[in-house]
Amino acid sequence: MIVFERVSFSYGDRDVLKDASFHIGKGERVAILGSSGEGKTTILKLILGLLKPDAGRILIDGEDIRDKSEGELRDIRMKFSMVFQEGALFDSLNVKENVAFCLREYSKLSEEEIDLRVRELLQVVGVGHAIDLMPDELSGGMHRRVAIARSLAACDPVMFLYDEPTSGLDPINADTICRLIIDLSKGGKGFIIVTHKVYDAMRVAGRFIFLRGGQIVFDGDNESLMRATVPEIRIFMSEIRGGAPCSI
């Protein structure tokens, strides 16, 4: 579904990605790991066409997206459900109106149908009781779940893209989000999760891509990750030395 062929990208004179190549299939569960500033979120933005590569090709379902117009990119983006790190809810709208916003923008549903759909989506992510709350009244975990509901309202995605979905959350809320990520991927839908939290990544993903200095230095499964000798990976893996990740 997603193919990067020797993709490079820089912000000014700072190289973020250098000759990055990989292929991710529709049903894969992939975690992209690395320190801050290593290009993890940049990869998600390149997939959506929000950024254009300096070099290389990006193919989505066989289509090169580099030179597509905004109208053409909209069709590409509808294949994905993107959940940004901070949730990006509208502060001036309550939970119901935040989720309804996408339905009003991208569907022809009546207001009655929108109301029903909003309630269904909020139940799916476990925050139906928060329908009338404002974003500043939500806990961190609830905020992320509402953001996921809103992303689901925009389309019926083929793949989910999560940018640091458990960052800043306590262990209980992080566990809730991990379980939700797994639940939403049932039925053959894949996802890419960008994170620096190895413990959470290993709860949900089956494949791991590790970035260092803008380059991919590891691409493999759970067992290979545990045996990796790259120093930076060993530092990351120290997070889970106290115990094995839970099985979901």
Residue-wise pLDDT for 102-151, tens only, equals 889 878 899 999 999 999 999 999 999 999 999 999 998 999 999 999 98
How many H-runs (helices) and E-runs (strands) does the chain carry? Answer: 9, 10
Closest to 109 measured CA to CA, from 158, 157, 154 = 154
- The per-residue pLDDT for 76 is 93
62-102 per-position pLDDT tens digit: 999 999 999 999 889 989 999 887 667 899 999 999 999 98
d(C-alpha 228, C-alpha 163), whole Å: 24
- The number of domains in the chain is 2
What integer is the mean pLDDT of 210-224? Answer: 94
In total, the chain counts a number of residues equal to 248
Closest to 130 measured CA to CA, from 182, 83, 140 = 140
- The per-residue pLDDT for 174 is 92
pLDDT of residue 154 exceeding 90, the answer is: no
CATH number at residue 233: 3.40.50.300
d(C-alpha 31, C-alpha 205), whole Å: 6
Do 167 and 85 touch, CB atoms closer than 8 A?
yes
What integer is the mean pLDDT of 228-248? Answer: 68
Of 111, 137, 156, which closes a domain?
156
Shared domain for 67 and 165, answered yes or no, is yes
3-state secondary structure of 139: coil
Shared domain for 24 and 73, answered yes or no, is yes
- The per-residue pLDDT for 246 is 40
Helix then strand then coil, in percent of the chain rounded to 5, is: 40, 25, 35
pLDDT of residue 247 exceeding 50, the answer is: no
pTM of the model: 0.89
Beta-carbon contacts of 126 under 8 Å, excluding residues fewer than 6 positions away, are 145, 176, 180
What is the 3-state secondary structure of 31-99?
A: EEECCCCCCHHHHHHHHCCCCCCCEEEEEECCEECCCCCHHHHHHHHCCEEEECCCCCCCCCCCHHHHH
Token pair in block for residue 181: 């990520």
6-61 per-position pLDDT tens digit: 999 999 889 999 999 999 999 999 999 998 888 999 999 999 999 999 999 999 99
Shared domain for 45 and 142, answered yes or no, is no
pLDDT of residue 241 exceeding 50, the answer is: yes
Shared domain for 124 and 30, answered yes or no, is no
Residue 177 is given by DSSP the state: H
Range of the domain at 206: 1-79+161-248
- The per-residue pLDDT for 245 is 42
pLDDT of residue 248 exceeding 50, the answer is: no
